[in-house]
Amino acid sequence: MLYVTKKIKFSAAHRLFNPTFTDARNEEIFDKCNNIMGHGHNYTLEVTVAGIPDPSTGYVIDLKKLKQILQNEIYEHVDHKHLNYDVPFLKGIIPSAENITVTFWNILSEKISPGKLYRIRLFESDSSWVEYYGDPIDIPIYELK
């Protein structure tokens, strides 16, 4: 196997809180990330596809095609958005980098071909990031009041 990666960036706002927690507990747990009006990041998303290069092209997957998938399935929905309010597929999900990453995996794993989605890395900043290889993880969906 060989692994090819495409990186894109998007800018979004989010707020971390659990609607079943009291305000005090949200404040205690999420601290600055719980700021009511939200805060934001320039996110960096790296999507890695595993496969064997097609002998007639030398490509595992055409990275222009992979970029287009990322554009259509992710970027168009999250760039310059508030992740808590504006993104249908994140509705009710606590938008931690972990949960966003798992959600992106669930969307992308069926859309990518040729090759097979192997890894997603999501950077919230250049000093904090998440890596995920698709082990099944349940993300709870909370009802927003």
Q: Which of residues 80-119 bind a second copy (CB under 8 A)?
A: 80-82, 84-86, 93-99, 101-102
Q: With CA atoms as reference, report the closest residue to 120 among 24, 43, 38.
A: 43
- What span, in angstroms and rounded, lies between the C-alpha atoms of 15 and 30? 9
Q: How far is the CB of 72 from a second copy (least distance, A)?
A: 16
Q: Is the peptide bond before 114 cis (omega within 30 degrees of 0)?
A: yes
Q: Catalytic site residue 73?
A: no
110/127 with CB nearer a second copy: 127
* CA contacts within 13 A on the Cβ side of 91: 7
Q: Does 68 engage in binding with a second copy (CB under 8 A)?
A: no
Q: Where in 12-41 is the site for a second copy (CB under 8 A)?
A: 12-14, 16, 18, 20-21, 29-33, 35, 37-41
Q: Which two tokens stand for residue 125?
A: 């900043």
38/73 with CB nearer a second copy: 38
Residues annotated as catalytic (active site), given as ranges: 33, 80, 124
